Amino acid sequence: MEHNQTSIANKPRHAWVDVVRGLGIVLVFYGHYIQQGVDPHNASAVEQFRFIYSFHMPLFFIMSGFFFRPTVEVFSRIGQLALRRLIPVLVFGIFLLPIWLRYEILHSLSFRHDLAHMAFVYLDGRPELNWVTWFLVCLFMCESLAVLVLGRLKGWKAQLPAGVFFLSIGLLFCDYSILPSEGWWYAIGRTWFLSEALVALGFYIIGYAAFPLLKQLSTQRTLAALIFLVTISIVFFTYRFNHPQSIAVMMAARTHGNSLYFVVTALAGAFAMFALAILIQSSRLLEMIGRNTLVLLGLNGLFYTYLDPKLLSFFSPANSPLFVTLDSVVVTVLSLLLCVPIVYFMNRFVPQLIGNINVSGPVLPAFVKH
């Protein structure tokens, strides 16, 4: 999920790629709003929450694989990835710091302890000031691992089995690392989302292997329509069978429920979105949203952590599929509109802080020279 990555990857120059990224970030805003207002007795909200979370984060990891480019300069590439992913994590954490400080000053009896704890958890790779940016931390770990292993895999016949392998290892690691234990296994799996990064790497490799086929599919809309119908049907059929303890799949918490259903539903949902984007082909609105997924992701932390819960404390959707959908669509649209000025400002004046590390000016120099 990034605004501009031409310097580190062969950026897919296809409108449908930006369209699917736009669809993905809309699902993030929509799903996070529902998540904050999910009432176990509101079956309509729970169903939509489970449906979206069954595939929306795997979708982004698979899409990220589209942009991979092999390199022999391993340490240089990982350093660039750190600048592209982790600087935005810090920036969007600082963005929410004043709100957090105000809350802490008013409500906390151990302000200094909480501040020290917050610094520690960031060193541990957990961006608690803006939890939505967990994805960028996990993606950094995933991409760093990909730099080490993916370039050695030649052709889809080697890549797809590797993707399945890392999915299997990652899911096994997560299953054991979420046990109620404070031992070394738990600590290693939690630190910098290492266990989830292995799951993400599996999806990432599958995305890299599948992209040439998706490029061919992008010219065959009839086949894309058939694939969409089949894959979205698989999602509707399978997501209800997977009920993790947290009500829904939560990759940020390393909870996936049944591993088989998780992988099947995640892949089906992701490819349904790819097929839908190919059917849409071009949408200026979705393409614009898609080109700004990184900054919109960071800004979503404001809504997810502070604004959505406040709104839902005054107004909770009724238990009706139509009412939940209308309510969530309106809030999603308004939230995205509120982000527009900040998106424009950051792109115009400080693009280096949102991943464009090769850009120079107007306020900051380029972090990395061509």
pLDDT at 105 over 80: no
In the numeric block, which tokens belong to residue 12? Answer: 């897919």
Q: Is residue 64 part of a domain?
A: yes
Give the pLDDT of residue 5. Answer: 39
* Residue, of 106 and 348, whose pLDDT is higher: 348
Q: Is residue 5 part of a domain?
A: no
Helix runs in the chain, H state only: 15-37, 43-53, 56-65, 74-107, 111-123, 134-149, 156-177, 184-190, 194-217, 221-238, 259-280, 284-290, 293-302, 308-314, 321-349
Give the pLDDT of residue 42. Answer: 85
User: Residue 134 and residue 140: Cα distance in Å, rounded?
Assistant: 10
Dihedral, CA of residue 46, residue 52, residue 55 and residue 60, to nearest 10: -140
Q: Is residue 59 part of a domain?
A: yes
Q: Is residue 262 part of a domain?
A: yes
Q: Is residue 175 part of a domain?
A: yes
pLDDT, tens digit (0-9, with 9 covering 90-100), for 53-90: 999 999 999 999 999 999 989 999 999 999 999 999 99
| Mean pLDDT of all residues belonging to the chain | 90
Q: Is residue 323 part of a domain?
A: yes
pLDDT, tens digit (0-9, with 9 covering 90-100), for 208-259: 999 999 999 999 999 999 999 999 999 999 998 887 766 889 999 889 999 9
Share of the chain above pLDDT 90, in %: 73
**Is residue 19 a contact partner of residue 280, using CB atoms and an 8 Å limit?**
yes
Q: Is residue 32 part of a domain?
A: yes
Q: Give the least confident one: 9-23, 201-215, 281-295, 330-344.
A: 9-23
Residue 110 pLDDT level (bands cut at 50, 70, 90): low
In the numeric block, which tokens belong to residue 137? Answer: 């931390």
Q: Which domain holds residue 218?
A: 15-354
Give the pLDDT of residue 4. Answer: 41
Residue 318 pLDDT level (bands cut at 50, 70, 90): confident
Q: How many domains does the chain have?
A: 1
Q: Is residue 168 part of a domain?
A: yes
Residue 304, class by beta-carbon neighbours within 10 Å (0-12 exposed, 13-18 middle, 19+ buried)?
buried
Q: Which of 99-103, 115-119, 151-155 has the highest mean pLDDT?
A: 151-155
Give the pLDDT of residue 177. Answer: 55
Q: 255 by DSSP, 3-state: which?
A: strand
**Is residue 78 a contact partner of residue 147, using CB atoms and an 8 Å limit?**
yes
